[in-house]
Structure 1
């Protein structure tokens, strides 16, 4: 998720896996809600002849009919969820309005004056399927209020932050889509990541235009395999081009197909998920943790970087303040979060990370600022984690 810089961590692939978390945070057992259903993305078998556009007819829902999602701002804050590093495919298309693609559905989300969230379908073959896919994508089967109540009971600082940053929700993205986005994030910045993700997205079927932004269904593995490493390099991917093409080839060799293999990882333990993802070209433990948290139901995955390290040494493991971050200490950080917050530790870490972003500091009381924050946070929104340092 993170828009950060980190020193070379390629050796982290040899790390021991994170221990299984406690079943709940240590203070209170109320995290009982589960997802009502799990929707898997339907992929088109059609292979576009060129990079762009297979125009499809707009649905009847293209008349800006806004439908209540029955989620208030405390359960879903769009500005705290979409532009904070989980996904690079959603665009701001209005005041408190964001537009993106879920599977083959093009939708917009916006806050109503009372803070509630509503959605508008721009393109879909089935409004019912779109609604189900959208709710699955937004992880609505998990009550953010219940989760945060537990965290707040055991952590007074979290409780105060949550009162100012309500609604920072963790998404449940399509695993292939999430994987490709985070392959683009290595040693990169927001503008360039977005450009790369836009290029990859443009390989899929065109779904429509909203406020000047073009939107596409995410391309299939077959379509991605038709683009050469050189073509990706010419599009500005640099050394990441070999990660994209290498990972696509590796996925195509998986039994049952790469998409099905990625979805099957949702049934494994976190340590197994990190290990198998780290066998893919360009994926290290940090990128693997991002993919696990944002698409594979690994709610206690902790993507550790220098900023998360600083949070941990301030509030969770102060005895390590001043030490240099190493692969071994990355595991110590992840374990500290899990001990404190339990099986939804990744959701807690997401809020604590967002609270460190300069763009969100303005929402917080001044006592959350300190000199170190004001100096170190200046470039935080522009840079992302470094998994493997390689020359372009």
Structure 2
């Protein structure tokens, strides 16, 4: 999904991102109009939504950690914070919105609340002892349902990149949208429309440090602008297609290959069995699902075989299972596991090797 390289290790050697002036300059009076904190329960337990296992793990790069166990972001014109209460339950606060009811509706849709993690993970765990063991420590790792335009632009920025740099690029693009307010020192903007993005040139993006990704973003925006009915509507229509049809359609856009298309399909287009295959997912697959391919070089044909293996193992929500397995491999999340913990399959493998010796 993205590089696991240390995002800070090479930042000093890369060009800095110099943001363009936001389309609507921050107005100090706007800050005073933000609503004072009034938290309301979302009626989601921590096992259904863990904020630290959902937001900073590569699905979206627009939500900021604004306090311990608290994340803030925008959904259209709504500026919202989420946090875990002492009981582990999830609470929300609407900082800015033209309609609180519309904001809550957008939030519930974004969080995919109609899908029960407990039911999904019960099904996965019953057929996979390794998943069952990891689920003890990674409860609440939920797949988000993002706006397709936002998701597409974010993953165009993710190509051969690390989390820190992707975040800076996404912040640059987000800063072109309407200013909504400030929370704990972070400024938040509504994601810019395709019409606003069309005003940004490749030269400006290159000056901001986007490199070769600049032409992909401007090219994709132009391609979307030419779609009958508009690019946003065209992207939304892909939710109604079969997975391969949606991926093929996305791959007609500049800079979108099969992996980026699978990310967009999984995280914004309701394609729950989409499997974004990169080198990290390849390692997971060859370690646990396709051990006979260990040592082979990842090719487009083998990418398809990996995706098929995940779907064969986990079914129509295979993308959700793969997301948890991916998160469990992140260095920042491995610390959650006990130091003496190893999976049942690994234990059995060790026993076999011991007997063979």
Q: Same fold (TM over 0.5)?
A: yes
Contact 1:361/1:369 (<8 A) preserved? no
**After the TM superposition, which residues 179-218 of structure 1 pair with which residues of structure 2 at under 5 Å, given as runs?**
179-218=152-191
Identify which of structures 1 and 2 has the higher relative contact order when contacts are C-alpha pairs closer than 8 Å and 6+ apart: 1
Please give the secondary structure, in 2, of the residue aligned with 1:222. helix
Report what 1:262 is aligned to. 235
Please give the secondary structure, in 1, of the residue aligned with 2:150. helix
Q: In the alignment, is residue 91 of structure 1 matched against residue 64 of structure 2?
A: yes
Distance 1:120 1:61 in 2: 11
Spell out structure 1 runs of 4+ moving beyond 2 A.
1-5, 48-61, 365-370
Tell me: CA distance 1:60–1:135, structure 2 relative to 1, closer, same or farther (3 Å): farther
Contact 1:177/1:218 (<8 A) preserved? yes
Distance 2:251 2:236 in 1: 16
Q: Which moved more, 1:59-68 or 1:253-262?
A: 59-68
Tell me: CA distance 1:206–1:60, structure 2 relative to 1, closer, same or farther (3 Å): closer
Tell me: CA distance 1:203–1:60, structure 2 relative to 1, closer, same or farther (3 Å): closer
Report what 1:247 is aligned to. 220
User: Gapped runs of 5+ residues in structure 1?
Assistant: 6-47, 371-392
Deviation at 1:367, TM superposition (A): 4.9
Distance 1:141 1:108 in 2: 20
Indicate which of 232, 243, 252 corresponds to 1:279.
252
Q: In the alignment, is residue 114 of structure 1 matched against residue 90 of structure 2?
A: no
Indicate which of 136, 143, 158 corresponds to 1:170.
143
Distance 2:115 2:60 in 1: 19
Indicate which of 288, 301, 316 corresponds to 1:315.
288
Decide which structure has greater helix share: 2
Indicate which of 138, 153, 164 corresponds to 2:111.
138
Deviation at 1:190, TM superposition (A): 1.6
Distance 1:369 1:310 in 2: 17
Distance 1:326 1:180 in 2: 25
Please give the secondary structure, in 1, of the residue aligned with 2:253. coil
Please give the secondary structure, in 1, of the residue aligned with 2:136. helix
TM-score, normalised to structure 1, is 0.81
Distance 1:189 1:315 in 2: 26
Report what 1:23 is aligned to. none
Distance 1:199 1:234 in 2: 12
Over residues 3-47 of structure 1, what are the superposed CA-to-partner deviations in whole Å (9 max), with x where a residue is unaligned?
A: 348xxxxxxxxxxxxxxxxxxxxxxxxxxxxxxxxxxxxxxxxxx
Deviation at 1:362, TM superposition (A): 1.4
Contact 1:58/1:124 (<8 A) preserved? no
Backbone CA RMSD of aligned residues: 1.9
Contact 1:61/1:120 (<8 A) preserved? no
Contact 2:202/2:218 (<8 A) preserved? yes
Distance 1:61 1:195 in 2: 25
